[in-house]
Structure 1
Amino acid sequence: MSKVFRVFVLSLLMVSVVSVVNAAAFRAGDRGEEVAAIQRELVSLGYHVSVDGDFGPATAAAVKSFQANYGLEADGLVGSATYRALMGREIPEVSRAGSTSLVRRIIQDSLQYIGVPYSFGGTTPSGFDCSGFIRYVFADSGIYLPRAADEQYTAGYQVYNLQPGDLVFFSTYTYGASHSGIYLGDGKFISSTSSSGVRIDDLTTGYWGACYIGARRVL
């Protein structure tokens, strides 16, 4: 990918995620005292997690265990119902400032693999399939996603107003989610395609627009 094109894509990303948006859930990538308070409460209930104010994979796993034990949707997100059950009070406003930097890092990481060839079952920079590419890029930032596209389609929660870093899904050779990518903003997404390897495409037009079935937010 040329330097000019890389700068163009990153500039679109900056426009898309520069503001801090309040969202009603704490999730992987969030940091701060409120995350530490959640971790302390989890520890008091016997869940194994460090109280460091960093909502990483261990915290997400502890949250999922708590949710399963209390009959809540086990999605690893501390939304209003989970927060109320865990903390005994209503959820405060959640700043997305922490995850903004995480989104930027994931997008920047994904762009460096443009041109890497497609490899069925591939999970490394020597060759990716679609879900292997997503899993590798997110794992580099400490976010561990399921391996297959249809499994990734169950991660996080469904969204309709897309933001950079959201996972986008397509029904291609079989019914259901059979292809996945990472939304970049401005109607673009990046994925590992069987025809051209890792590349950027339009989400809403042409082949991909016709195959698009939905998006999930995991950040």
Structure 2
Amino acid sequence: MLVCDDHLVFAESLALVFVDAGHTVTGVTGTVDEVVDLLGTTDVDVCVLDVHLADGDLVDRLAEIRAAAPDARLVLLTGRLEPGLAPLALAAGVAGLVHKGQHVGGILDAVRRVHAGETVVDPVYRRPARAEPALYRLAAFLTPREREVLCRLVRGEHTAALARAMGITPATARCHIQSVLTKLGAHTRLEAATTAVRTGLVSAETGRWLAA
């Protein structure tokens, strides 16, 4: 098992809880880069990961993490409450989504079930999506390129992969991403992606544009 949280004291404490419960913890870290490195060199069955890490949002690099350890079961343990986080995470291959407000017993049970092959989503993330006409009006100002960028953010593509797929430079990709964030009033890629999924602009399952 690998435990990753940007608050290392929390991560180390949680690792001790897992060890006491009979799990083998092979690594504790606080950055996405370290997660990818550890997954490339360590046999890991379950990864318990926060969404916001020291070097960025984990969701932006889920595809990279999945590629580093295709067989590992991923559990997102986070305090964030974006309603669109669940479909976005599940579409990217996450097996568990657990809120940090859970008691330790609830976290242990969720990890146990994920390890056994179940998909676990905390009820707090199962709120129904709701339409936001104002956002649709804002989305109408997205260019075709920006719509493609938003769709790729929902698919979890990082900047380099997005740039390669679109045939543009990473610098141009970053400009498109920033423009999307500005037009949607989002502060991070994760916020833009979850908003797009939650409001029905983009499909979490296919990553395709849905809005008329």
Q: Normalising by the residue count of structure 2, what TM-score does the alignment of the two structures yield? A: 0.25
More helix by share: 2
Structure with higher strand content: 1
